Chain A
């Protein structure tokens, strides 16, 4: 289990981390969310000792993380980087060996990952000759080649085409099934909602929500209501206290309401002005939850 414990870090006047704490268990995948500059990258770099914390710390299975523990981790940094003039296969094998694999195992793992990520025919090509998307895949392979127990990926989905997104999501899911603890940051909240059971949301260096995604949504003070109306006036809003309009288009109306608002009152108000084609009520989406939490 990865434990981030009350991490604090200040860069001059900027407080990047202010007592950030959360855990990631083996076999689980945690989406690490937060607005730009909230401290995600700093927190992830701290796991690898690339940032010296002012206070707090990180632990793996309850032990302080040192150079030996880090060998069992895989890291995909925010700023991608591989040796531009080194061959892809050689590079992955080299990184595998740096993480403790012997030469034969490193070579085998490198070619296995290149095959799995569709780069088998690029093994002898140089990194600088790869397309942007393929460089991303090679970077992912670099984080995975040694079969890490903990996988830390900073914005792994950024800049990927939809096919690559599906492949990456599948890879991460399988890594978690294999028993790895997976921590990744992302701005694609709908994607995170699809593939993660757990999230941690950071804002201004503090964790504002963490835990099981479903439970977090249910614990929200608000609920979402979606209506499809036929024949409603364009400016229609239900005359009910504690209702907030999120979106309205072509008869579709999306609302956020306080948790104690009775949905029946909203439905009744709608039925008074138009015919209701569809009505749904439930906890807010991750995106709505995120906005609710970080806007405060």
Chain B
């Protein structure tokens, strides 16, 4: 029988048996409900928006009423009007964050601090048109900002980066644990002797990783896909472009899982028969946690720095760091490409190593094999 058929059969069994488990169905429904719920919650909890607008004297009659009326269609937003003596006084208020926008009627300009709020601009624009109704055609307001919009990532980008890397981290650890559980169960129940009498060890390893990975992939496509879709549809108060960054989580799960699941499988195979799956998984999980926090700290410090670039392309960190970093900063195309190439190389090397060690680990009873012994086995074969 070809290796491919064995791999497909092993993977098929992993998928079928797990789909049958209520825990899997329940966890999928739960995560989906969490994502959809957070979107809904965002809508419900969104406090009634009040735009604070400063305007220079003299204030035209009816402006406050017109602003209130214009704001109504925007989820019943309120407008608080503040009159200032001069443009410079208004700028000071704007600078101090006392108001959100400054309306300069003399020059038909609407000034914001750093970035233009399109809703506030629309409200002000239609209010001014209404007040100047008798003077058609009403000149449109020109928007401006006090400072150029800086490169600091917005709140939404930080959220997407954090959620994306957390989602990746938890799914890699979660499904990695499944791989360990499966390997340890096969080893402890001794069924592995029966299986290995018909299937090559590397095919068993591949089938297991592919089967569990497919389930994880399916669950992640549902979750990340829903989140990305909600971002693009504008349900979240965030730029639609972040949807693409969220979707980047999916291919990087595939690469990251291929890398870490193989490591998890080897950890399971090397565990002693007394050891349970949790302790067997520990070395790999610790590595994953370290990578997650290293990425978090480095990206929070400076998402554009050389250290961030290094973590973007380093195979062990790339799967978690790259999607997060691309939400926070512009990652050059060559770094995307290099990261993929290096991760694929690392997967290849790890699979070769694992293929040699896996069978020995599985068939080795008694005390666990140490990493050094595993390395020796890999070199001997």
Q: A interface vs B, CB < 8 Å?
A: 45, 48-50, 67-68, 70-71, 73, 75, 77, 79-86, 90, 94-95, 97-100, 142-143
Contact = CB atoms under 8 A, between A and B. Distances in A.
7 contacts: A48-B196, A77-B190, A77-B194, A82-B191, A97-B9, A98-B195, A99-B1
A68 B192 contact: no
B190 A81 contact: yes
Nearest to A75: B197
B190 A79 contact: yes
A80 B189 CA distance: 8
Interface of B: 1, 6, 9-10, 13, 16-17, 185-186, 189-200, 363
- Of A45, A70, A75, A83, the most chain B CB neighbours within 10 A belong to A83
B366 to A, nearest CB: 12
B196 A50 contact: yes
A68 B203 CA distance: 14
Given A71-B1, A82-B194, 15 more contacts: A48-B196, A49-B197, A50-B196, A67-B200, A68-B1, A70-B198, A73-B197, A75-B193, A75-B194, A77-B193, A81-B193, A83-B191, A98-B198, A98-B199, A142-B194
A36 B177 CA distance: 38
Contact of B190 (A67, A80, A94, A98): A80
B198 A71 contact: yes
B193 A79 contact: yes
B189 A83 contact: yes
Nearest to A73: B197
A81 B191 contact: yes
A142 B193 CA distance: 12
Nearest to A84: B189
Given A82-B189, A94-B9, A48 B17 contact: no
Nearest to B201: A49
B194 A81 contact: yes
A83 B16 CA distance: 14
Contacts of A79: 190, 193
A237 to B, nearest CB: 49
Contacts of B185: 83-84
Nearest to B13: A94
Q: Which of B9, B189, B196, B198 has the most CB of A within 10 A?
A: B198
B193 A85 contact: no
Residue from the set B16, B194, B195 with the largest chain A CB neighbour count within 10 Å? B194
A72 to B, nearest CB: 10
B217 to A, nearest CB: 23
Nearest to A146: B198
A49 B190 CA distance: 16
Contacts of B16: 90
B197 A70 contact: yes
A98 B192 contact: no
A290 to B, nearest CB: 27
A215 B193 CA distance: 36
A143 B197 CA distance: 10
A80 B193 CA distance: 9
B195 to A, nearest CB: 7
B193 A50 contact: yes
A77 B10 CA distance: 20
A99 B196 CA distance: 11
A57 B16 CA distance: 38
A86 B190 CA distance: 14
Contacts of B195: 98
Contacts of A85: 17
Contact of A99 (B186, B198, B200): B198
**Interface-centre pick from A45, A67, A70, A75 (highest chain B CB count, 10 A):** A67
A294 B70 CA distance: 104
B305 to A, nearest CB: 49
B219 to A, nearest CB: 21
Contacts of B6: 98
Nearest to A80: B190
Nearest to B192: A81
Contacts of B193: 45, 48, 50, 75, 77, 79, 81
A48 B9 contact: no
Contacts of B194: 75, 77, 81-82, 95, 142-143
Contacts of B190: 77, 79-81
Q: Identify which of A80, A86, A98 gathers the most chain B CB atoms within 10 Å of its CB.
A: A98
A277 B1 CA distance: 64
Contact of A81 (B1, B9, B189, B198): B189
Nearest to B182: A83
Contacts of A90: 16
A95 B9 CA distance: 10
A48 B196 CA distance: 8
A99 B6 CA distance: 9
A150 to B, nearest CB: 11
A270 to B, nearest CB: 54
A129 to B, nearest CB: 14
Nearest to A79: B190
B1 A95 contact: no
Contacts of A95: 194, 198
A236 B217 CA distance: 82
B209 to A, nearest CB: 17
B21 to A, nearest CB: 9
